[in-house]
C-alpha cells in the first residue's frame, strides 16, 4: 500500500471509532507531557532529570512508530538534548518493549510458509533487539552461520496510516503560526516522512536496498553490509547475515572493546559523504542502532557495519555536484559562487537578484569560516543559516528533508563519540581529493572556478591549500598525491581539460610574454608537494 494522504484522511474520518479515541489520547498525552516539563524541566536535580528522561521515553514509546522515529532523531543530538534525557532516548533505537513471541512466530510462518523449526538449527525464545517497526532475533541456520531475522510488528500499516493523518493535520494547522520560513508547508515534510515510512515497512524493498548498498561498497574494505537471505525474506520478514560488532552508542564502549573512536568516526563520515556526494544513494537513518564498529583497521580508517536499509533516499547528479561545489565555495569564502549554488539547489528563487544575496551570506556565514576550517561543523552553519530563513528569501526544498536529517544524524552520532568533533575536518579532505582526482566534467568546472580568478590568473594559495589538505590528512601523503599528479597530467592532455588548458595558458602568458612570477609560483608548489621525498 502506497502513502496517499488524502485517501488516508477520508479513511480515518469515516471511522470515528478510531479517530476520536486516538485524538483524545494524543491531546491528553501532549498536555501532560508539556505540563510536566514546564514544571520540572529546569530543575538542576539529576535524579529529577533522569525521571523526566524515563517519562519521555515511555511517552514516545507508547505513542507508536511515527513518534518513535522523531525520538530516534533526537537521540542522536547530544548538543540539543540534555544528557539525562539522551541516555533514555537512545533506548528508542533498539530497546523498545517487544511484542508477543508467539505472534512473531505466527507472522514468520504466514510470510515464509514454514515454521522457524524447519529452517533454523536454533531460534531463540526472545528477540535480541526490538525497535519501532520490528524485532530482531539472532538465529542459526547451521553450525557456522548466524543470521539476523527481523519480523515486523503486527498491524503496522494501520497504525502508521492513522497517526500520519493526525501529524499531517497538526502541521497544516500550526504551520502558519510557527516562526518558520520554509517555502513550503510542513505537511510536505510529513509527506516525505510518510512516503519513506511506507517504504520502510516493505521488507522486500529493504532487501533490494541492502543489496544495492552492498554493491556500492563492494570494493571498500572498511564497510561491511550484511548479505540478504532471500529464501527467508518477504514483505514482513527479512533475514540477513549476522554482524558482530560494538554499537556506536558512546566512546567508552568502543575503547573498552579495543576500538579507536576517531578512526570509526572517520569511516562513518567519509562513507556518508561518499553516499551523498559520490553515489547519490544514501542511508537516511544512520542512528547508533544501525551502525556497528568492527574489529580491524585500514590505514587511518576503522571498520563499520551498516544494518537496517528501510529508510534510503537518492539525490540527483546535479544536486550532488552542486553540493560538492557549495562546500568548497563556503570554505573559500566565494560567496558569489555560494549564492549561485543555493539558487541551483532551490534554496533561492531563479528570479532572485544574487547581487543582493552575496553580501548577506558574507555577513552571516563569513564569521564562522576562519582560517582553521577544522573548527567548522554542520550545526554551526545550520544555526547561522537559520537566521537567514526569517529575514531573507531563502527556502528549504522539500527534497532536502531526508538529506538534512541524514547529515544531522551523522554529525550527532559523531558528537556522541567525540564531543569536539568537527565534520569539516574529515569532509573537506574528501571533497578536495575528489576535485583533484576525478574527471567528472562538473567537478572539473568547480576546480577551475576555485584555482582561477576572473582574470584567469592562478590562485596559487587555493591550489596549494587543496594539495596541503590532501597531504596533511593522510598518514601516507605519497599514496594520496600520486593519483593527484597522474590525474592532473591526464586532465591537461584530455579533451575534457581543454578549458583548464586554456585558462592555464592565459595565466602564464600575458601581453604575449611569459608571466615569470606566476610560473615560478606554480613550479614552487609542484616541487614542494610532488618531490620524491614527499611521495615516498
**CA 73 → CA 29, 412, 487, distances in Å?**
20, 9, 40
- Tracing cell 514468520 back to the chain, one arrives at 108
**CA 436 → CA 426, 464, 480, 484, distances in Å?**
16, 12, 10, 6
Beta bridge partners of 298: 301
* Cα 116 to Cα 122: distance, rounded to the nearest angstrom: 9
Element (H, E) at 130: strand 129-130
* Cα 203 to Cα 133: distance, rounded to the nearest angstrom: 11
Which residue, among 312, 295, 313, has the nearest Cα to 304 in the 3D structure?
A: 295
* Cα 292 to Cα 275: distance, rounded to the nearest angstrom: 17
* Cα 338 to Cα 381: distance, rounded to the nearest angstrom: 13
* Cα 403 to Cα 319: distance, rounded to the nearest angstrom: 11
285 assigned to active site: yes
DSSP 441: H
Query: Which string of b and e fits 123-145 if b means at least 16 CB within 10 Å?
Result: beeebebbbbbbbbbbbebeeee
State the cell numbers at 301. Answer: 580508517
* Cα 196 to Cα 448: distance, rounded to the nearest angstrom: 38
**CA 79 → CA 322, 335, 377, distances in Å?**
28, 28, 12
Question: From the candidates 94, 187, 202, 285, which is the catalytic residue?
Answer: 285
- The phi and psi torsions of 191 (rounded to 5 degrees) equal -65, -40
Q: Tell me the pairing of strands 312-314 and 281-283.
A: antiparallel
Beta bridge partners of 146: 140
Kindly list the catalytic residues: 285
Amino acid at each position: 500500500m502506497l502513502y496517499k494522504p488524502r485517501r488516508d484522511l477520508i479513511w480515518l474520518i469515516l471511522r470515528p471509532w478510531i479517530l476520536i479515541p486516538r485524538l483524545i489520547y494524543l491531546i491528553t498525552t501532549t498536555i501532560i507531557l508539556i505540563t510536566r516539563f514546564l514544571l520540572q524541566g529546569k530543575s538542576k536535580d539529576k535524579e529529577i532529570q533522569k525521571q523526566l528522561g524515563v517519562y519521555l521515553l515511555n511517552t514516545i514509546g507508547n505513542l507508536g512508530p511515527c513518534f518513535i522515529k522523531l525520538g530516534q532523531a533526537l537521540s542522536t543530538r547530544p548538543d540539543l538534548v540534555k544528557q539525562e534525557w539522551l541516555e533514555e532516548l537512545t533506548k528508542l533505537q533498539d530497546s523498545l518493549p517487544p511484542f508477543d513471541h508467539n505472534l512473531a512466530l505466527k507472522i514468520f510462518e504466514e510470510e515464509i510458509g514454514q515454521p522457524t523449526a524447519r529452517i533454523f538449527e536454533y531460534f531463540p525464545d526472545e528477540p535480541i533487539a526490538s525497535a519501532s517497526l520490528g524485532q530482531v532475533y539472532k538465529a542459526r541456520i547451521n553450525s557456522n552461520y548466524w543470521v539476523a531475522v527481523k519480523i515486523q510488528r503486527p498491524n503496522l500499516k494501520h497504525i502508521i496510516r492513522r497517526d500520519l493523518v493526525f501529524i499531517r493535520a497538526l502541521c497544516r494547522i500550526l504551520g502558519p503560526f510557527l516562526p518558520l520560513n520554509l517555502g513550503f508547508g510542513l505537511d510536505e515534510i510529513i509527506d516525505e516522512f510518510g512516503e519513506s515510512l511506507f517504504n520502510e515497512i516493505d521488507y522486500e524493498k529493504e532487501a533490494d536496498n541492502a543489496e544495492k548498498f552492498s554493491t556500492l561498497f563492494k570494493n571498500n574494505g572498511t564497510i561491511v553490509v550484511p548479505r540478504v537471505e532471500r529464501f527467508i525474506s518477504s514483505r514482513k520478514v527479512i533475514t540477513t547475515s549476522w554482524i558482530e560488532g560494538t554499537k556506536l552508542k558512546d566512546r567508552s564502549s568502543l575503547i573498552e572493546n579495543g576500538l579507536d573512536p576517531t578512526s570509526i568516526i572517520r569511516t562513518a563520515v567519509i562513507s556518508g559523504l561518499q553516499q551523498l556526494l559520490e553515489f547519490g544513494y544514501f542511508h537516511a537513518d544512520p542512528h547508533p542502532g544501525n551502525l556497528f564498529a568492527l574489529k580491524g583497521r585500514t590505514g587511518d580508517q576503522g571498520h563499520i557495519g551498516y544494518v537496517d536499509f528501510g529508510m534510503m533516499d537518492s539525490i540527483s547528479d546535479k544536486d550532488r555536484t552542486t553540493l560538492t561545489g557549495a562546500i568548497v565555495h563556503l570554505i573559500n569564502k566565494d560567496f558569489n559562487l555560494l549564492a549561485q549554488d543555493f539558487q541551483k539547489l532551490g534554496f533561492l528563487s531563479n528570479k532572485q537578484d544574487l547581487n543582493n544575496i552575496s553580501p548577506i551570506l558574507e555577513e552571516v556565514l563569513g564569521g564562522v569560516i576562519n582560517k582553521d576550517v577544522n573548527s567548522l561543523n554542520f550545526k554551526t552553519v545550520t544555526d547561522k543559516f537559520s537566521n537567514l530563513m526569517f529575514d531573507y528569501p531563502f527556502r528549504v526544498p522539500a527534497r532536502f528533508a531526508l538529506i538534512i536529517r541524514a547529515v544531522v544524524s551523522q554529525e550527532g552520532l559523531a558528537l556522541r563519540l567525540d564531543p569536539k568533533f568537527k565534520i569539516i575536518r574529515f569532509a573537506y579532505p574528501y571533497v578536495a581529493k575528489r576535485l583533484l582526482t576525478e574527471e567528472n566534467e562538473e567537478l572539473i568546472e568547480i576546480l577551475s572556478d576555485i584555482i582561477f580568478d576572473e582574470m584567469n590568473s592562478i590562485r596559487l594559495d587555493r591550489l596549494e591549500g587543496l594539495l596541503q589538505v590532501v597531504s596533511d590528512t593522510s598518514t601516507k601523503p605519497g599514496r594520496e598525491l600520486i593519483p593527484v599528479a597522474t590525474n592532473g597530467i591526464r586532465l591537461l592532455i584530455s579533451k575534457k581539460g581543454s578549458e583548464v588548458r586554456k585558462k592555464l595558458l592565459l595565466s602564464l602568458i600575458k601581453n604575449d610574454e611569459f608571466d615569470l612570477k606566476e610560473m615560478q609560483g606554480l613550479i614552487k608548489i609542484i616541487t614542494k608537494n610532488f618531490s620524491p621525498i614527499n611521495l615516498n
